[in-house]
Structure 1
Amino acid sequence: MPTPTPRGPMLLLLPIFLILAVVAALFAWVGGWIGNRDLTPQKMMDTAQASGKQQPGFRRAHSKGVCFDGTFAPTPAAAKLSTARAFSQPSIAVIGRFSASSNNPYAPDGASPVRGMAVQLKTDDGQDWRIAMNSFPFFAAATAQGFQAMNEAGQPDPATGKPDPDKMKAVLAAHPEIAAFQAWAKTAPRSDSLGNTRFNGVNAFRLTDAQGVDRMVRWSMRPRAPFAAMTPEQLKSADANFLGEDLERRLAAGPLVWDMVVQIAAPGDPITDPSKAWPDSRPEATIGTLTVVHAEAQATGPCRDINFDPLILPDGIAGSDDPILHARSAAYSVSFNRREREISAGKSAYPTSQNGSAR
């Protein structure tokens, strides 16, 4: 009779081996060591740096920004959708950042229709939730490869000083969804205030309730101040920093408020493609209120050194398999590490405080 093979202990260890393999693969992908070797987070950040007047010590994208602080208060509907502590703690202090889309920290505020909002919430049980949103209703591309190709095609040709239109045609042929975003960018009105801008999380996340039921959602911050677009006169003559100046004026008069709303996916909705909006007919729930009470220059503000990684999530909320979501997380890490090295080396373009450190 053959000797029995001791399979029992090995089978018990198999799940551990699988978990370790997955973790190792994630670290390897973030480091750019496996997967599509033609595209790594480092290469994406290299392209971002080359696309404008990048300054050392600043974020590689959305470089221009202003810090804010305030509170987040959940609604009763929130706790029904997720066990996240942020949805049961009565009020949470938040640190956030408004931003522009350029990687030039001195770009005029009216240059782009895109505005950004990022928020960090730390609950009383020590959990951390970071949210990154933008004013566009859907993302430019379905994949990181498509987004990278669009950015590369948009860089000026050294011979002409302008992007090569044939390169962009080739990108659109390979990634046709980008055309919808380009059309939006050409026609979208530019808000005349951060306080009246709606910010959208275009990636999907999973909320899990107390019964273990999962729902896929996309969230947005919807301002209570009515939207107003920049006028043609403002587009021509507005001060380069008018959004920050307007924010200060509004906050001097009182807090600014946004309602956090989740849109709940139906079967068949594109969970892993942020370039496609879900139908407006999908059910929605207001899950909280963000109240902004104070703003401060990012050079001295508490948001400056925060990496608003959208995959830093609390229990009860999980990321989807959206490839753009995971690419953003990896790219944000590269951006954060680069600017921290520049600040530590004294190369930062930020103003210097009295003690000589970059602020």
Structure 2
Amino acid sequence: MFSETENHQANGLSGGANEASGTSDSLYVTAAEEAVDELEHVSGVHPGYRRAHARGFCCRASFLPSGKAAPYTTAAHLQEREIKAIVRFSGSSTDPALADLLSPAKGMAVQFLLPEGGHTNMVGVTVPVFFARTPESFMEMLTTLNRTKAGKMPKAEALRRFARHFGESRQSLLALKRLKPPASYATNLYYCIHVYILVDSEGRRRPVKFEWIPDLGVQTLSIHDAAAMPDDYLERELELRMLAHPPSFKLNIVFGEEGDPTNDPTKRWPSDRKRIDAGRLVLLEPIAEPPGLIMDPTAVPDGIALSDDPILNFRRDTYAESLKRRSGGH
């Protein structure tokens, strides 16, 4: 699901989101307004909350790069200097009151505070792929869902439309079906589902994906045990866990090879792709969510470029529209 962001050019970071996809700003903005309209129809408008990943839990963190990524990118947060960070965990629901158990996919967004000012973000979820390949297919599936729920579309027509997109959504649906309730936000594997481009000091460009691997390993609960937990058990558990011992994640960078898709977030790369350990993120203490905190996956620093993934490039204006409505008290 989409959450929200601000225009990354306002942060002084590199632009080009729409250049990568060849889509004009005006088309993206128009589609973004329509997308947020549909997100609001899923569970209604919840003033002051994000339009997806509505309820979150924030903590202060520290990222220590291993230096192994330095030959492949000039990005400041992937060199050898320790970087301060803010981490926001969340469920995927548009409803901030929904119990943790009822929101299967979880999110982990990391904001790296860059040494020379500004920031960049990395957004991960507990499923490895997205359910829509393009903004158009995302919109059709969401609109079909909402119209069917409202009794405005016959079920036969809805099934026909969903079947048209089954090929692209199949892997995401299977991944969701396999998910078990997590024991902790700190025991999930989080995938950054979009492709990015690492740019080295010579200008060489390499497609990559990112993964956050929990040092505690993946730990889950049975449905029975999770059902006995409080609605916000993941927030409570992580707060207590950080008091006892700071949990941590390893950042893997996965390198694409010839033929691996860069423009399709519904497709996985083969599991044998080269990986490097780019560093370790340590969760230090819970914090109140900073006012105006924005986790923008298109806000990339020098040394990283956006791929031609249309969903990734669509996020900028969709999140900006969501932020505008939230900031206006809607």
Fold conserved between structures, TM > 0.5: yes
* Structure 1 residue 295: Cα displacement: 1.5
* Structure 1 residue 174: Cα displacement: 4.2
Matched, 1:140 2:128: no
- 1:310 is aligned to 297
- 1:220 is aligned to 211
1:158 to 150, 158, 161: 150
Tell which has more relative contact order, 1 or 2 (C-alpha 8 A, sep 6+). 2
Listed as ranges, the gaps of 5+ residues in structure 2 are 1-15
- 2:311 is aligned to 324
Residue correspondence of structure 1 range 155-304 to structure 2 within 5 A: 155=146, 156-159=148-151, 164=155, 166-174=157-165, 176-296=167-287, 300-302=288-290, 304=291
Matched, 1:87 2:85: no
Listed as ranges, the gaps of 5+ residues in structure 1 are 1-18, 33-39, 348-359
Contact 1:307 1:333 in 2 (8 A): no
Using the TM superposition, name which of 309-318 and 169-178 deviates more: 169-178
Local SS of the residue matching 1:77: coil
1:333 to 315, 320, 323: 320
Between the two proteins, the alignment pairs up a number of residues equal to 312
- 1:29 is aligned to 27
Using the TM superposition, name which of 233-242 and 308-317 deviates more: 233-242
- 2:10 is aligned to none
Matched, 1:102 2:93: yes
- In structure 2, how many angstroms separate the alpha carbons of the residues matched to 1:25 and 1:41? 13
- In structure 2, how many angstroms separate the alpha carbons of the residues matched to 1:46 and 1:109? 24
Local SS of the residue matching 1:76: coil
Contact 2:106 2:125 in 1 (8 A): yes
- In structure 1, how many angstroms separate the alpha carbons of the residues matched to 2:184 and 2:48? 27
Contact 1:67 1:98 in 2 (8 A): yes
Cα deviation 1:28-56 (Å, max 9, x = unaligned):
23422xxxxxxx00111111111014311
1:90/1:131 Cα in 2 relative to 1: closer, same or farther (>3 Å)? same
Contact 1:81 1:207 in 2 (8 A): yes
Contact 2:29 2:318 in 1 (8 A): no
1:174/1:138 Cα in 2 relative to 1: closer, same or farther (>3 Å)? closer
TM-score (norm 1): 0.81
- In structure 2, how many angstroms separate the alpha carbons of the residues matched to 1:113 and 1:163? 27
* Structure 1 residue 171: Cα displacement: 2.5
Higher-Rg structure is 1
Contact 1:140 1:177 in 2 (8 A): yes
Local SS of the residue matching 2:69: helix
Contact 1:153 1:163 in 2 (8 A): no
2:114 to 94, 119, 123: 123
Cα deviation 1:319-357 (Å, max 9, x = unaligned):
001000011122111111111111xxxx6xxxxxxxxxx
Contact 1:146 1:171 in 2 (8 A): no
Contact 1:308 1:332 in 2 (8 A): no
Contact 2:55 2:90 in 1 (8 A): yes
